[in-house]
Structure 1
């Protein structure tokens, strides 16, 4: 049977433990850290969630964060991670612990000093990663209450990005690259007269863009049996779709198939209909 000893008490509900297997973990449970000190044993019945730290590199990074950041921020951040992990499918990458503590610590510091950092991709992130965004929204409310701060709304998008990158085990850089490209295409679309509003069509359009970019990167395409009919009936929208496809080609250095331009045309046509 695996036993656990407390290494650090992070909050009333979060502790860091050393397992008899030699691994370290971050352990959650209601009141698990209350009146506890390092060295004390944990009972399995107290544990509601546990995140194992597998690599020494991640452990080292986390130990550095522990020594540099206020323990209250660490504890509250870990509660946010546990909440998000419980709501979102798929196991989080172990790197989220140090990364998110680091991020939230800076965000709190900046807010207290009156320095606002805006997220230029907040709109795109909200639509691309709507599930993570909803969880992040609730997380920011929790952080504000627990840490007695008023974090800017742009923080929601930053947290959503962390959740997404950790959930897909992708690097935040890759996720951000996709967000940047989607953002560019939307700017280009606005410039050629496509109107975006907070509607289902916008969500569908952004979701379609994400899939299209993914297919172009993997050099895959879906056959469009209605292509000639689309080109004939929606000439204006087709020209706009071609224009946006060129912007994607320029960034990815990959061609966008004509079938894909046809599908994009249908999405653009929806906006034209709504604003006719």
Structure 2
């Protein structure tokens, strides 16, 4: 493995014998090295394949601003999250989280308050990611001496959720969060009760909503024209059907999206299940 481009003393772009480009990280990894030199493999702390052409140039610009200590901190946080949540976060998070933390820590040091408008929604819908992010705040304080507000945990949690999906983009993650929040509000006010947010039924309903919103925003909703199922549940669960029509109207108005017959049927079933058990 040879150096192809050196970003700084700790991060470089390399190429192996198969001409596969990889970004490698490690303290002092590329100190006094030049393009064409061999990489000392024992110094590598993290490696990931470049996701696209032009990535190296973007990384170079990013690393001009971010201290390596912040990248080390991101690495430690990601390792903690992977272990706690039994997941494998997308490699792109190493860069996006480092950039975010550097900006957030700098703002906090300068006395600029950090607020997250989705704080309440994140606490409700991304509980695992939020709890891991609270631990991350303690790691940040230990590493930098900076105490961050809980709003910052919500921001980190959105990054974590985004990286668990497939690194799809923060705008999409925030749109998903808004859809889940709005639909649960529609169901809650239609039936006139609050959800038991610790119940398995609520958890299953939220999981369905997340996946639906994810596919909807990507244009991946399928319709097998299962009219038989739709007709059956429409007649069997009339109140859940009326509630589903309100959800349909919301999606059409806000996102210009027509819910398919299949999706309508599954919504009726999920709404009926969660509403029936919540009432009991």
**Larger RCO, structures 1/2 (Cα 8 Å, 6+ apart):** 1
Q: Which residue of 1 aligns with 2:100?
A: 103
Aligned to 1:261, which of 248, 261, 264?
264
State the alpha-carbon separation in 1 of the partners of residues 183 and 51 from structure 2. Answer: 39
Counterpart secondary structure, 1:8: coil
Q: Which residue of 2 aligns with 1:38?
A: 31
Distance 1:246 1:228, change over 3 A: same
Q: Which residue of 2 aligns with 1:197?
A: 196
State the alpha-carbon separation in 1 of the partners of residues 239 and 94 from structure 2. Answer: 49
Q: Which residue of 2 aligns with 1:212?
A: 212
Residues 220-229 or 197-206, more deviating: 220-229
Deviation at 1:195, TM superposition (A): 1.8
User: Number of residues paired by the alignment?
Assistant: 263
State the alpha-carbon separation in 1 of the partners of residues 79 and 8 from structure 2. Answer: 17
Q: Which residue of 2 aligns with 1:159?
A: 156
Matched, 1:251 2:248: no
State the alpha-carbon separation in 2 of the partners of residues 161 and 220 from structure 1. Answer: 27
Gaps of 5+ in 2: none
State the alpha-carbon separation in 2 of the partners of residues 173 and 219 from structure 1. Answer: 19
CA RMSD of aligned residues (A): 3.7
Residues 86-131 of structure 1: CA deviation (Å, up to 9, x unaligned):
76336523xx444322211221133334444333334544666566
Counterpart secondary structure, 1:39: coil
Gaps of 5+ in 1: 10-14
Q: Which residue of 1 aligns with 2:275?
A: 271
Matches within 5 A, 1:49-128: 49-53=46-50, 57-81=54-78, 88-89=87-88, 91-93=90-92, 96-125=93-122
Decide whether the 8 Å contact of 1:8 with 1:16 is kept in 2.
Answer: yes
State the alpha-carbon separation in 1 of the partners of residues 110 and 194 from structure 2. Answer: 37
State the alpha-carbon separation in 2 of the partners of residues 123 and 101 from structure 1. Answer: 24
Decide whether the 8 Å contact of 2:12 with 2:25 is kept in 1.
Answer: yes
Question: Which runs of at least 4 in structure 1 moved beyond 6 Å after TM superposition?
Answer: none
Q: Which residue of 2 aligns with 1:230?
A: 233
Distance 1:44 1:191, change over 3 A: same
State the alpha-carbon separation in 1 of the partners of residues 132 and 227 from structure 2. Answer: 36
Tell me the TM-score normalised to structure 2 length: 0.72
Tell me the TM-score normalised to structure 1 length: 0.73
Decide whether the 8 Å contact of 1:7 with 1:38 is kept in 2.
Answer: no
State the alpha-carbon separation in 2 of the partners of residues 17 and 215 from structure 1. Answer: 36
